[in-house]
Amino acid sequence: MNEEDLWQLQMECTRFFQDNPYSMETAEGISLRLGRKTEHLDPVLGRLVSLAILERTGNGSRSIYRYIEPSFSDNLEVQWNS
């Protein structure tokens, strides 16, 4: 897979977990849901874990992935430069 294909697959995985925020899936389960090959998903899932978008529990083929909901601070201030 080239870099563009990996980027597309990363977006598909992220979108899947955003649409199903309580889902807990193995790489094989994700591949079935997305219609993608598990070997293509492995580097993408690793990247999403390193970016703290997904959390991985376990190791190897039995690893389970789940979405980490982003948290936002209530006291965000927007400053405009003049």
Q: Which residues contact 38 (CB under 8 A, 6 or more apart)?
A: 27, 28, 31
For 11-41, the pLDDT digits (tens) are 999 999 999 999 999 999 999 999 999 999 9
Reported as a pLDDT band with limits 50, 70 and 90, residue 60 is confident
* Lowest-confidence region among 2-6, 13-17, 45-49: 2-6
Beta strands in 1-82 (DSSP E): 24-25, 54-57, 64-67
What does pTM read for this prediction? Answer: 0.80
